[in-house]
Amino acid sequence: MPFLRTERLTLVPLSREMAECALRDRARLAVLLDARVPDDWPGPDFAGFLPVLRRALRQDPGCSEWLGIIVQTAGRVVVGDMGFHGPPDDEGMVEIGYSILPEFRHRGYAFEMARALVDWALARPEVTSIAATGVAAGNRGSIRVLEKVGMRCTWREGNLLKWELRKS
């Protein structure tokens, strides 16, 4: 993934060094990003994923192409993370995931960056669809973002929803 830029945000591709620093050296991460890294970043989901991601990046540095850290461009502060759980599967599907820190929610950042990321992915010939799985039915913020980028709910099991957008 190239650096994706929107009106207010920059999605910085997550390198192996950044993943290492996110786990062990936040001061160095701030230098690499040229941005302040709030104490509550990464959130619990991404923090749990970082050790797995770090191993994947050691084996294949190219997976950094699918994930990034969201930086508020003007304020030079990390506001969240966004990307895909990996490259497209055999059918061309990628799964989107994102998180915005609580203090930066309700400003349209998730939608703004999701729109840019979805457009980037759908422009790639190997991507045929984008999914979002495990979305809590009560998570109105995420549901609204998914709806606004053109995804639709295709499955529900209990409290969990799956959303999908197919390339036309």
Indicate which CATH number applies to the domain containing 89.
3.40.630.30
Total of domains in the chain: 1
* Residue linked to tokens 């990628």: 94
pLDDT, one tens digit per residue, over 45-73 is 888 888 888 888 888 877 777 889 999 99
Instruction: Determine the pLDDT at residue 159.
Output: 96
Question: Residue 4, Cβ neighbours under 10 Å: how many?
Answer: 19
Residue 83: is its pLDDT beyond 90? yes
pLDDT-derived band of residue 1, with 50, 70 and 90 as boundaries? low
Domain hosting 58: range is: 4-166
Assign 93 a pLDDT band (cuts: 50, 70, 90). very high
pLDDT at residue 75 in the model: 97
Q: For 128-147, what is each residue's pLDDT tens digit? A: 999 999 999 999 999 999 99
- pLDDT computed for residue 66 by the predictor: 85
